[in-house]
Structure 1
Amino acid sequence: MAEWDSLPELILTHILGYLPRRDRIYCGMVCRTWSRALDNPILWRHLKVYIDSDLKEPWTNILTMKFGRYIHSLDLAWSKPYMPRQWIRDRLNLIAHDSCRYFMLLTGEGVQLTCLRLTDWFFAWKFKKMTYHLSNFISTQTKLEYVSFYNANLGPPEMLKLLSSCTRSSHNSLRYVDIRSAFHEWQTAFSFPRFIRALERLQFLTVLKIDYPSLSNETLYAIGRSANNVLSFLDIRVRDSDSRGHLISEDAWHDLCSKCKNLRVGLKLINICHFEDTSYLLVRGMPLRNFSMISGFVWDQSRSRNLRATLKLLIVNFYETLVEVHLHLRNNREQLDDLLITMLKQCPLLQKLDYDGILRSMEVVRDICDLQCDPTYSKFKEIYIQPRSLNLYNHSVIQQLQSEFGYKMKSLNIDFHIEDASSVLMFY
């Protein structure tokens, strides 16, 4: 023990930082030296609590009472977000009781956060009591900068209560808000007055991540009406299970862009590839910077996919703003080679093209390399080609490309790789 006592407190704190939080509590009971070493903000700035397991343990309440003043970042998650029904019947009442008591403890200890995350929650009516006490705790927070309800999966009334509490108490400090998959099973465009009022309070918001069903003309106008609107990035996600069909007008986008001069938009489509499902999303007035399309292995054979029309519309409407394009098109048989070249030629700001799909000819890679050697076109920093199922002709083309462009790309400081494996085609 004498050797441990002779260690500087800072080194002892660093060593104790490798222990699980439960063991840290026990170490603090060994001696005063260890207790002083544990009383350091570095060890307690971030706390992650699993509601269905950690709240059963007494150490969670102990460390909150002893070190709550140091906690700046709090994650509230579930270790088992999808639980068997029998397990729910036996344990949910106890979990709700423990969580309500813990949220009241956080409020009583005066914990002030800068970051709050709710992830992987399981939708259940019992959580109304939990969200009530959690909302009371959030309403005491005045310094929140980062709030993420990603995959919280709560009912609209409960989620609106939490969101309203955040925007009401921390409207002068909130910079980042993520509400993707926060609401459970939306069926229509979300334009409830309470939701609109919550967005209007976000005067200094810079990043907003949202699902398309929660986006509407009223949503964009509400963001634009904020007094000091400095929104710089709006990330929109659309999934195949989302309710679609409502349109967002160009006027709403123009209004938001006039208020937020530096606004950039990212659009991610998951398992949505048919042109009739994508055309209404690609509104010309949207300042689209990042575009991602991820298709699944299962296709709706009753409709035409017409990916060519989607890419043409993407190029025509956003050639002045596109910076990154990610196309992961599994099980696709349409020829898109020429459109990739067209995109490179007509989108001067394009810095990254990630294409995971079928090329009809490896000659398109030659055309891409020729563009990179042309000083009139913008250049990628890396060209990484990993084709699959090569025939003899394409093997010979790859060998020619490596010998013809290897030295040229190196002289241009472009990392040029061609690998005979199977998966991805990327240029950035």
Structure 2
Amino acid sequence: MEENECQQRLFLTDLPMEIIIHILQFLPLSSKYRASMVCHSMYNIFNDPELWRQYEVCIESDKDNDSITIEEHDAKILISKFGKYFKILTINICGHLIGMPKDWHPVLLKLSNQCSLEKLILKVGPYYPGSESLRKKIPRPPKEDMVVLLSLIRNAKRIKQLDIQYWPFLPDYHEDQDIIKVIVRNPTFHRLEHLSILWPDSRQMLSVYQPTLPNRRMVLELVSHLKNIKSLRLRSTMLSNDLLKEFAHCERVDKLQLMKIYVTHGKSNPQFHIPFINPSSWKCLTDINPNFSVNCWVIPRVQAAVLSNMLTFDCPLSRVVFLEWSRVTDLMLESITSKYSKTLKRFELYCGLKNYDNSLIRMVEECTSLKHLVIKSCTWYGLQYRTVIKLAASRGSGWKTFLIDEKNVSIVDNIDHAENDEMVDHIENKLKGIAIDPENDDRKMKRMELKESLAAILGSEFDDRRKALIIYRNKDGVQI
């Protein structure tokens, strides 16, 4: 009795247990662990599963460093004590997998047997400078490391999301080292609803790194055993007519809702070629699943005709993003407008932009479902200010996202004489740049007039921030 009273005096608060747990959730996992070791009066609180729901295991591949050793030592204790509560787990093995420290093997094996994962994220062997030479010297990861890592998949019971961000997809693996074979042999993976294969996160969207990709046969083999997939993220080279036909089976009615395609293309490398998809393959899928939609991120400077080989008329394209290194032409914008006037809901442009005003206006006018427009081009003054006003007025307060970077807007009528900029020549490599004149009073006044006009058109929720002309009504959970 005296011990309980002592603990109550040490832990002075009238807050309900649920509130305390909610507050502690904002602490980094390492801080939670340290607090759990010293605050014995809060023992019951720190054993609440919600505090340990998400964790990232970071392992340095075959590196010896005192600070890393200390961090990994604490991580192993944390996993041993609270690993049974993990629901969302990230395995991050930094650098090319040339050999995982052997003392991690029993830790990961125990974790695979005691936790009940709902989501698994794999970052095994991400790219870093110099890793290409390592891949040539040691192309295949050690067998025992692969078996241990795949135990998390082999022993999974309730997993619903699998995100393979990095993985050494190499041919001729033994079955117990082949991630696709291991997934297929686990019957509980029929519950999997969300699958992502080598989809780059936002920081790697512009990376020139070209990983070894699983071929179309491997992807088809995997997907054919996952009957409850609701969303799929993959690279364009993994797409095939057979894959779409697999999703069009009657047993998958109303299952697949969204497919995100990251378009890569390399003339010199066959594994990065954009595939030819028959229009009938898309149509079969949309006939059986009318709610199915496609999102597309384009990174290469690919011709409109090549992109159209995959994105045919019957493809239900709802979102298209042109990344910084890609290229947009009038022909491409006209193709998107004519083919996807009924399905396109979101258009984003981050690449070069110049003299596409009429094509953009037509796209916004004819694509009646388009409610999200983002233009943050890497070039200056590619859009006339009158065009911006027309784009805003086409939806008015109906825009959910209207974001245009100020630097992309020319505030004079003739874009060819918008600025009296001076070309600056660089001796090395014959590079050229643009020296932009300081903003004068006339430009400032016209810019303010533009913002006032947009505020009147877009409504009270219009926001002018981050040097952009922005309206962002996040009514349907769409993120920029």
TM-score bracket, shorter-length normalisation: 0.7 to 0.9
- From 393, 399, 406, the equivalent of 1:387 is 406
User: 2:332 is matched with which residue?
Assistant: 310
Q: Could you say what secondary structure the match of 1:319 adopts?
A: coil
Compute the TM-score of the two structures, normalised by the length of structure 1: 0.78
User: 2:179 is matched with which residue?
Assistant: 162
User: 2:433 is matched with which residue?
Assistant: none
Q: Could you say what secondary structure the match of 1:170 adopts?
A: helix
Task: Tell me if 1:141 matches 2:160.
Answer: no
The residue type paired with residue 285 of structure 1 is D
User: 1:106 is matched with which residue?
Assistant: 111
Q: Hey, what's the Cα distance between the residues in 1 that align with 2:457 and 2:82?
A: 59
Cα deviation per residue 1:279-334 (whole Å; 9 max; x = unaligned)?
323211110000111132xx8xxxxx67111111111111110000111123x44x
Tell me if structure 1 keeps the 8 A contact 2:463–2:470: no
Distance 1:14 1:310, change over 3 A: closer
Tell me if structure 2 keeps the 8 A contact 1:279–1:310: no
- From 154, 169, 172, the equivalent of 2:190 is 172
Tell me if structure 2 keeps the 8 A contact 1:153–1:181: no
Cα deviation per residue 1:134-191 (whole Å; 9 max; x = unaligned)?
223312212111111123454356699324434533333211111134997447x822
The residue type paired with residue 194 of structure 2 is Y
Shift of 1:401: 4.5
Give the length in aligned residue pairs.
398
- From 462, 465, 470, the equivalent of 1:415 is 462
Distance 1:295 1:274, change over 3 A: farther
Distance 1:202 1:55, change over 3 A: farther
User: 1:302 is matched with which residue?
Assistant: none
For residues 309-328 of structure 1, the aligned pairs below 5 Å read 309-328=331-350
Q: Hey, what's the Cα distance between the residues in 2 that align with 1:319 and 1:178?
A: 28
Task: Tell me if 1:46 matches 2:54.
Answer: yes
Unaligned runs of 5+ in 2: 1-5, 61-67, 127-134, 201-208, 419-442, 474-480
Task: Tell me if 1:336 matches 2:344.
Answer: no
Q: Could you say what secondary structure the match of 1:172 adopts?
A: helix
Q: Hey, what's the Cα distance between the residues in 1 that align with 2:331 and 2:84?
A: 56
Task: Tell me if 1:256 matches 2:296.
Answer: no
Tell me if structure 1 keeps the 8 A contact 2:194–2:232: yes
Q: Hey, what's the Cα distance between the residues in 2 that align with 1:360 and 1:38?
A: 55
The residue type paired with residue 113 of structure 1 is L
Q: Hey, what's the Cα distance between the residues in 2 that align with 1:226 and 1:150?
A: 30
The residue type paired with residue 102 of structure 2 is H
Distance 1:45 1:406, change over 3 A: closer
Identity between Structure 1 and Structure 2 (%): 18
Distance 1:385 1:211, change over 3 A: closer
Please, what is the CA RMSD of the aligned residues?
3.8
Distance 1:370 1:16, change over 3 A: closer
Compute the TM-score of the two structures, normalised by the length of structure 2: 0.70
Task: Tell me if 1:221 matches 2:236.
Answer: no
Distance 1:99 1:351, change over 3 A: same
For residues 23-422 of structure 1, the aligned pairs below 5 Å read 24-25=32-33, 28=36, 30=38, 33-52=41-60, 53=68, 57-78=72-93, 80-81=94-95, 92-93=98-99, 95-107=100-112, 109-119=113-123, 121-122=125-126, 125-152=140-167, 154-155=169-170, 161-167=178-184, 168-181=186-199, 185-186=211-212, 190-192=215-217, 194-225=218-249, 227-229=251-253, 230-240=255-265, 243-296=272-325, 307-330=329-352, 332-333=353-354, 335-357=355-377, 358-359=381-382, 361-372=384-395, 379-381=398-400, 383-388=402-407, 390=410, 395=443, 398=447, 401=450, 406-410=455-459, 415=462
Q: Hey, what's the Cα distance between the residues in 2 that align with 1:291 and 1:258?
A: 22
Shift of 1:199: 0.6
Q: Could you say what secondary structure the match of 2:191 adopts?
A: coil
Shift of 1:100: 2.9
Cα deviation per residue 1:41-64 (whole Å; 9 max; x = unaligned)?
122211211022579734433333
Q: Hey, what's the Cα distance between the residues in 2 that align with 1:12 and 1:336?
A: 55
Q: Hey, what's the Cα distance between the residues in 1 that align with 2:340 and 2:401?
A: 23
